[in-house]
Structure formats: C-alpha cells, structure tokens
Structure 1
Amino acid sequence: MNQTLSQETIKLLWRIYRESKKYQVRQRAHAIILINQGYEIEQVAKIFTVSRKTIYNWQNSWFNRRLAGLYNQSGTGRKELFDDSQKRQIINWSKQYNQNLGLVIKKAKDKWGIQASKDTIKRILKYRKIKRKAPAIIFSKQQNLTLKKCYLESLIMCN
C-alpha cells in the first residue's frame, strides 16, 4: 500500500513530526515519512521498536483517515466499572455504612453483580473529594469520667 505523497502532505507530516505535543502522533508521522522515503516496514518497525503489524496499522490509518489517522481514536482503553448513577449509590452507601468499604463492596456485588476492589471504591470516593476518616470513638459516661480522672492525675504528677 505504498502510495506516494504530495509535497504538501510531506510538509504537513514534517511539521506534525516537529511540532505536535503528542508523542504518539509525532512517532506515527515520522513512520509515514520514513515509509514514503523508501524504508521497508521491517526497518521502520525496528527503528520504533514496535511490531510490523503496528506499522501496518499506522500506515492504514493514515491512508484511510489521513490526519485523523495519526491520533488515537476515542473509546480505546479500559471501560469504567460503574456508571454515574452507580457511583452516586456507592457514595451514599459509603456514608450510610460509615465508610466500611467491605459492606459497600458486598452491596455492589449483590445489587449489580459487579465485583470491585477496595481500591476501586476508594478511587470513586477520592474523585468525588469525599474524605475517608475513622468514626469518632464514643465513650460511655463512666468511661468519660475515668478518662478525665486519668488526665487530671497525669497533670498532677507532672507538676
């Protein structure tokens, strides 16, 4: 699929290669330039330390989609585990269960059949700027009196 490129196209590719902020776009533009200069696919693959198939993909993307073919398509990468409404529910459960993530994970598994890790739940809370803190310890009146007594005794001993 070696098509010769016009001088304008070559100038555009050189400009993209020199000025693009995105590393992958610069790399792909450079690969197209090298192929146009007569380098073999295997040589270009070796230069960029990628497979021949990757170079073919870059070349096909360029010839099929032109400039847009140099950029990554949207929708690539791992999809999110939970949608927005599920994330809101997770936040509510987190508040309801005093941030006991084990219970939140169990509720998500029971309701939606989605197994999530504690780290995933933590990321959801962090993204929504919800601070995780340990619940305050509540003492009985007797315990409070004992604590105050110990505190006062420690003050007396220090003097």
Structure 2
Amino acid sequence: MARPASVFAKIQSNQQRNELVALWKEDPHHYTRMRAHAIILSDAHYEIEKIVEIFGVKRDTVRDWIQRFEQGGVDALRDEDRPGGPRKLNEEEEEILRDLLRRYPSRPATVIARLRARTGKSIGRDTLRRYAKRFHLSWKRFRRSLRKRRDEKAFRLAQDELAELLKEPKIDVVYFDEAGFSLKGVVPYGWLPVGKRMDVPVTGAHGSNVQAIGFEHQDGHAQTYLHKGYVSTETVIQIMDDFCETIEQTTVVVLDNASCHTSHAFNACVERWAAHGLLVYHLPPYSPELNSIERLWKKLKYQLMPAEAWEKFSTLLNTLTSKLCDIGEVIFMPLLESYAR
C-alpha cells in the first residue's frame, strides 16, 4: 500500500506566525510549546515523518496537531483547563514554599517541616514535587565546580583564544581527554515510579576498568582509543603519534594539564608533532568547561550507558565500544586487543 501523502500546516499571516513563535518560546507547558514548534516546522515543509523523528511521537499525533491548528488556529494548540480540587496553598504560601526551595534545594524534609511551621499546612513529597515542577524546577544532580580555584583572567583569555582558533578555516581544533569506565559504575539520577528504585549492578572488581582516550572534532565526530589499566605518558605519546598520522591539515589539540600531558617525555615530543602539523594547546588549570569532550564523557556515563552495562567487564566493554562507534572510530590498545577478537 502506498504511503499517504504528507500533510503540511499553513500559517496564514505574520501575526499568526508571531503568536506561534511566542507560544513555542514562552508557554509554560511543554506539550504546548512542542505543538507550536511542530506547526512552524510543518509550515516550513518538514514532512510528518521528520517531525515524528524530532519529537518522538506517533504519526497520528502530529496529524492531530496539524488538524487542530487548521480548525482552531493557535488557541487550539493550548491544553484545556482540567477540573480538579482547590490548590493546597494560596499565593502567599506558594511564595513561602518557593523561597524555602531556593534556600534548601537538596533538603525536601526541611522544606516540608519549615513550610508547616510557617503556614500551619502540611504537604507530602508528591505535592512538593508537583509544586516544584510548577515553579519550573527539576530534581537533578549538583555539579562540582572548580571555578573558585581557577584564574578567571587566564580562563577568559583561553576562551577568547579558542574562539579565534575555531574561526580559522585552515585549522582543525580537536579536544583531547581521558575518562575511566569502571565496574563500580555510576549512579545517575532519573525519574522513577514513586516507591520503586532501579538497581545498578555493581561488582567492584579491582582492575576491571576501561580507559577511553579520545579526540573529539568540531563536528562531533570522535576518534577513541580504548585502554585497560593506568594511562601513562607513554600511552598518551603512542596515541598522539598515531593520531598525528591521520591529520590532513594543521590541527590544534586542546587538552588539560594532567601529569601525563605535561611530563618531560610528553614535552619532548611537542616539537616533533608540530613538524607534522599537530599543535598542542594546554588549557589553564580548572577549566573543564573549555574542553568539549568532557560533555561527551558525561553523556556516555549518565545517559547512553544502560544500567546493565556495568554488570561485568565484557558487557561494559562491548556497550562502550558500541556507543562510541555510533559517533566515530574506536581503536583497541594492545592490552585490549585480545577482547576484540
């Protein structure tokens, strides 16, 4: 059976387009913003299949959005008010709760207790969660920061220098770093059913770890070397030598000041690499935000690697290899070659 012809929304005027953009950018409800964005894309002749891929919804859902817009205009994209009981807190009490969440963001029990002391009203954790979402807050892991330890002037200078390098058409900028993946695993936060918790398998076996040593290009393509055990200066030099053979024009490698990147043996190779067009750019201390590949490691550990990946070494290695192959090339170092067979 032939696939039905794609249907496109048609925006009737600049005023209607402006209303859609405002709805997409400013409406407090996620699904309303998503519908408005989908209509804008459809008007730009994005086919339904593409919109389905972008938003992760069903084809019939997108068709319904377009039909709602065609029949009722921008207002039809908004959710109707739903019936429900009165709010637990009035506006003044909500402001008290908002302030308590700002002062004690990681202590829900304290927030509930202090709200009760100040208003005489008790709420449960589910209600607290609903109010937090209404205040556009989400439960997430705090980020460790080294900002207070770094030289802010040096950080800004490096930021400006990298921005200039990225503008040079005849220079490639790649980001280099290492990340360890151990069977001790990671324990990420996530939305789970109330009263239930997902277990993350942990064996804690000593030496059962993989070091990912990678180069990330500006377009997101990655070239990763997988190594078992400690990363020494000799390992880094071997990888730099191999990468040096793959470059096609002057390439600047951005990296941090780990000891294996600043040792005498490493520095002794810098001139030889430069002769091949590979230049080394050291970031100032405590500046991980300037190294783009740091975000790749974080995404791998906390989003792309499923919980069962940490159960045994072979599963960890196979899953990590598969995820890295999706974004580039993977090379096994000698200590892991036997696992690649």
TM-score bracket for the superposition, by shorter chain length? 0.3 to 0.5
Q: More helix by proportion, 1 or 2?
A: 1
Q: More strand by proportion, 1 or 2?
A: 2
Highest CA radius of gyration, 1 or 2?
1
More relative contact order, 1 or 2 (CA 8 Å, 6+ apart):
2
If the length of structure 1 is used for normalisation, what is the TM-score? Answer: 0.44
If the length of structure 2 is used for normalisation, what is the TM-score? Answer: 0.21
